[in-house]
């Protein structure tokens, strides 16, 4: 920090404060974690200064021999860790990984057959008229994914996202009564819509998915099954999700972030079966430019960590702790979407406290409990105010929290929410954003959170 402070002291101070904030509060955002010092340090090296467009051994820049080493290592660790035939470690983020996956599927299932039909060996042989035909084919494809309010991600076909614009899209939700995925409904939708891509995976669904069943559905309609395991990759790596719940043997393409439950640097990763390997390998130039060489190096370090036996224990603790947190809420009378959890997250419906998600999130933050508001299925408060709070256990599990600590977390959360009332706006009308917590509660909880 001294070196940074000698150039821009305000950045040094913000960095110091960020560490104090992250350690002094309860980090319960389901998509966050604490990467290891080795992973963090690897991101701050000279690889940051190196351009390396292309792939290993086939670069558009000179002097990429060391980047080749770290990229190969990261891919090797990813293949070994997940038991996947092919791994692509260049995507800068989860969204980039999903874009690479979409375009690989389009390349494999649309571009190649179109080129064959047009009698061209590759796109360089296309005439302007052929290009128009190809663009039309690309623009005419369908994607079916989980809706945002049921727990899906923006990139799974949400209309305002690029995925909802580049594809004709439809969404599947969860059962309105149970909050659970209904595979018969997914099957019926798939049979009617006949998508090219069926996306499984989620950001806020507190249950496991049967990927074998999803693959069956995809096969029945000739779709490619793509699984976005960004949230639960750590549970797959740690063998908490096995058999039908492990996406790797079932999906043709699996994408993930590397920074959530997997506990690596911020970044993306694509795993693919052989059939799609060559297409995914064209991520650059198809979607990406120069990879973040320093982050690929950090991916290699974090993936090596995840291959250690201790990571399996860590992953099991993530799931056990989520159960403890859910039980803590349920025994204190709180309502959970799907009635519980069997992954790393818990979705609390805060309407029972008379609050919106926005009010609950702010009241908890005042008390040193860092979460994010989240829609619940069929949310009457929409995606901005919401009626839910999402809690994840990966970060505090890294800090060594166990059953007792998570029960205390549930106690602190319920104490804050049960002592918070909705407020009014300037005109005195009910507001979905303002709130008031009883005097002294936030400070008391904040002190307890800082001591944990
Ligand atoms: N996919 C899922 C399921 C996610 O939850 C997220 C991030 O929250 C992403 C993709 C996007 O990841 P990133 O923020 O790294 O682009």
pLDDT in tens, 340-381: 999 999 999 999 999 999 999 999 999 999 999 999 988 999
- If you measure from the C-alpha of residue 349 to the centroid of ligand 1, how many angstroms do you get, rounded to a whole number? 22
Q: Mean of the pLDDT values across residues 314-320? A: 98
Residues placed in the known binding site: 148, 152-154, 274
User: What is the model's pLDDT at position 378?
Assistant: 85
Q: Work out the burial of residue 121: count CB atoms within 10 Å of its CB; fewer than 13 is exposed, 13-18 middle, 19 or more buried.
A: exposed
Ligand 1 contacts CB of residue 230 (under 6 A)? yes
pLDDT digits (tens, 9 = 90+) for 104-123: 999 999 999 999 999 999 88
Enclosing H/E stretch for 20: helix 9-24
Ligand 1 contacts CB of residue 93 (under 6 A)? yes
User: What is the model's pLDDT at position 97?
Assistant: 98
Ligand 1 contacts CB of residue 203 (under 6 A)? yes
**Cα–Cα distance, 353 to 359 (Å, whole number):** 10
Closest CA to 27 of 255, 369, 344, 301: 369
Closest CA to 153 of 137, 141, 133, 169: 169
Q: Mean of the pLDDT values across residues 142-152? A: 94
> What are the CA-CA distances from residue 229 to residues 156, 300, 412 (Å)?
12, 19, 30
Tell the residue nearest (CA) to atom 10 of ligand 1: 94
Residue with tokens 């040193």: 368
User: What is the model's pLDDT at position 135?
Assistant: 93
State pTM to two decimals: 0.96
- If you measure from the C-alpha of residue 95 to the centroid of ligand 1, how many angstroms do you get, rounded to a whole number? 6
> What are the CA-CA distances from residue 198 to residues 101, 172, 233 (Å)?
12, 10, 19
Q: Work out the burial of residue 284: count CB atoms within 10 Å of its CB; fewer than 13 is exposed, 13-18 middle, 19 or more buried.
A: buried
Query: Which pairing describes strands 345-349 and 388-392: parallel, antiparallel, or unpaired?
Result: antiparallel
**Cα–Cα distance, 186 to 214 (Å, whole number):** 8
**Cα–Cα distance, 439 to 76 (Å, whole number):** 55
- If you measure from the C-alpha of residue 228 to the centroid of ligand 1, how many angstroms do you get, rounded to a whole number? 9
Report the interhelical angle of 441-451 vs 357-366 (nearest 10°). 60
CB atoms within 10 A of CB 337: 28
Ligand 1 contacts CB of residue 155 (under 6 A)? yes
Tell the residue nearest (CA) to atom 13 of ligand 1: 94
* pLDDT above 90: residue 229: yes
Q: What are phi and psi of 428, to 5 degrees?
A: 90, 5
User: What is the model's pLDDT at position 438?
Assistant: 96
ipTM: 0.99
Enclosing H/E stretch for 172: strand 168-172
Residues placed in the known binding site for (6S)-5,6,7,8-tetrahydrofolate: 148, 152-154, 274
- If you measure from the C-alpha of residue 417 to the centroid of ligand 1, how many angstroms do you get, rounded to a whole number? 28
Closest CA to 199 of 128, 118, 111, 105: 105
User: What is the model's pLDDT at position 319?
Assistant: 98
Enumerate the β-bridge partners of residue 256. 269
**Cα–Cα distance, 356 to 338 (Å, whole number):** 19
- Quick one: what percent of the chain has pLDDT higher than 70? 100
User: What is the model's pLDDT at position 372?
Assistant: 96
User: What is the model's pLDDT at position 377?
Assistant: 87
**Cα–Cα distance, 313 to 306 (Å, whole number):** 11
- If you measure from the C-alpha of residue 257 to the centroid of ligand 1, how many angstroms do you get, rounded to a whole number? 6
Ligand 1 contacts CB of residue 95 (under 6 A)? yes
**Cα–Cα distance, 176 to 80 (Å, whole number):** 39
Q: What are phi and psi of 202, to 5 degrees?
A: -165, 170
Enclosing H/E stretch for 72: helix 65-82
Q: Mean of the pLDDT values across residues 93-105? A: 98
**Cα–Cα distance, 118 to 116 (Å, whole number):** 5
- If you measure from the C-alpha of residue 65 to the centroid of ligand 1, how many angstroms do you get, rounded to a whole number? 31
Enumerate the β-bridge partners of residue 390. 347, 372
Which residues make Cβ contacts (< 8 Å) with residue 357, sequence separation at least 6?
350, 373, 374, 375, 381, 385, 386, 387, 388, 389
**Cα–Cα distance, 262 to 36 (Å, whole number):** 11
- If you measure from the C-alpha of residue 16 to the centroid of ligand 1, how many angstroms do you get, rounded to a whole number? 26
**Cα–Cα distance, 86 to 103 (Å, whole number):** 17
Please choose from 94, 156, 232 the residue to mutate so as to test ligand 1's pocket, defined by most ligand atoms within 8 A of CB: 94
- State the average pLDDT for the chain: 96
Token pair in block for residue 68: 């080749």
Token pair in block for residue 365: 């933050």
SS3 271: strand
> What are the CA-CA distances from residue 380 to residues 125, 288, 296, 332, 417 (Å)?
53, 39, 42, 24, 19
User: What is the model's pLDDT at position 122?
Assistant: 87
Please choose from 230, 234, 264, 295 the residue to mutate so as to test ligand 1's pocket, defined by most ligand atoms within 8 A of CB: 230
* pLDDT above 90: residue 141: yes
pLDDT digits (tens, 9 = 90+) for 195-208: 999 999 999 999 99
Quick one: which atom of ligand 1 is closest to the CA of 266?
Answer: 15
**Cα–Cα distance, 343 to 279 (Å, whole number):** 32
Q: Mean of the pLDDT values across residues 218-238? A: 98
**Cα–Cα distance, 91 to 295 (Å, whole number):** 10
User: What is the model's pLDDT at position 61?
Assistant: 95
Ligand 1 contacts CB of residue 228 (under 6 A)? yes
Closest CA to 398 of 4, 13, 29, 15: 29
Please choose from 147, 150, 153, 162 the residue to mutate so as to test ligand 1's pocket, defined by most ligand atoms within 8 A of CB: 153
User: What is the model's pLDDT at position 23?
Assistant: 92
Token pair in block for residue 316: 């099991």
Token pair in block for residue 227: 């699984």
pLDDT band at 394 (very low <50, low <70, confident <90, very high): very high
Enumerate the β-bridge partners of residue 228. 201, 255
**Cα–Cα distance, 21 to 34 (Å, whole number):** 13
Query: 3-state SS of the chain: helix, strand, coil percent to 5?
Result: 50, 15, 35
pLDDT band at 133 (very low <50, low <70, confident <90, very high): very high
- Signed CA dihedral, 194, 200, 206, 211: sign only: positive
Ligand 1 contacts CB of residue 201 (under 6 A)? yes
pLDDT band at 253 (very low <50, low <70, confident <90, very high): very high
Of the candidate ranges 63-77, 307-321, 423-437, the one whose mean pLDDT is the lowest: 423-437
């Amino acid at each position: 920090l001294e070196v940074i402070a000698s150039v821009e002291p305000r950045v040094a101070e913000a960095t110091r404060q960020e560490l104090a904030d992250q350690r002094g509060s309860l980090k319960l955002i389901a998509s966050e974690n604490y990467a290891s010092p080795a992973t963090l340090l690897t991101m701050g090296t000279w690889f940051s200064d190196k351009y390396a467009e292309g792939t290993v051994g086939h670069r558009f820049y000179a002097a990429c021999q060391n980047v080749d080493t770290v990229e190969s290592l990261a891919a090797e660790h990813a293949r070994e860790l997940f038991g996947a035939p092919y791994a692509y470690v260049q995507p800068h983020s989860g969204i980039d990984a999903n874009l690479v996956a979409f375009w690989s599927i389009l390349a494999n299932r649309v571009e190649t057959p179109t080129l064959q039909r047009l009698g061209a060996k590759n796109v360089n042989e296309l005439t302007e008229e052929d290009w128009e035909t190809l663009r039309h084919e690309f623009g005419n494809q369908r994607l079916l994914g989980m809706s945002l309010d049921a727990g899906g991600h923006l990139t799974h076909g949400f209309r305002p996202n690029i995925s909802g614009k580049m594809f004709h899209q439809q969404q599947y939700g969860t059962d309105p009564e149970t909050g659970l995925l209904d595979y018969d409904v997914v099957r019926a939708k798939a049979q009617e819509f006949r998508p090219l891509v069926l996306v499984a995976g989620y950001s806020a669904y507190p249950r496991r998915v049967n990927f074998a069943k999803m693959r069956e559905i995809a096969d029945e309609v000739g779709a490619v099954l793509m699984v976005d395991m960004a949230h639960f990759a750590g549970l797959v790596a740690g063998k908490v999700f096995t058999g039908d719940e492990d996406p790797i043997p079932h999906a043709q393409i699996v994408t993930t972030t590397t920074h959530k439950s997997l506990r690596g640097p911020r970044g993306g990763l694509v795993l693919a079966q052989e059939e799609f390997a060559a297409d995914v390998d064209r991520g650059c130039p198809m979607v990406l430019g120069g990879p973040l060489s320093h982050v690929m190096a950090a991916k290699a370090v974090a993936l090596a960590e995840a291959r250690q036996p201790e990571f399996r224990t860590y992953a099991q603790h993530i799931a056990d702790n989520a159960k403890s947190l859910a039980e803590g809420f349920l025994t204190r009378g709180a309502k959970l979407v799907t009635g519980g959890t069997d992954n790393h997250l818990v979705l609390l419906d805060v309407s029972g406290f008379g609050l919106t998600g926005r009010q609950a999130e702010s009241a908890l933050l005042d008390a040193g409990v860092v979460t994010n508001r989240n829609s619940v299925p069929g949310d009457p408060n929409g995606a901005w105010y919401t009626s839910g709070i999402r809690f994840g256990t990966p970060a505090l599990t890294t800090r060594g929290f166990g059953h007792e600590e998570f029960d205390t977390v549930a106690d602190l959360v319920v104490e804050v929410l049960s002592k918070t009332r909705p407020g009014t706006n300037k005109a005195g009308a009910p507001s979905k954003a303002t709130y008031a917590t009883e005097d002294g509660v936030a400070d008391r909880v904040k002190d307890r959170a800082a001591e944990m």
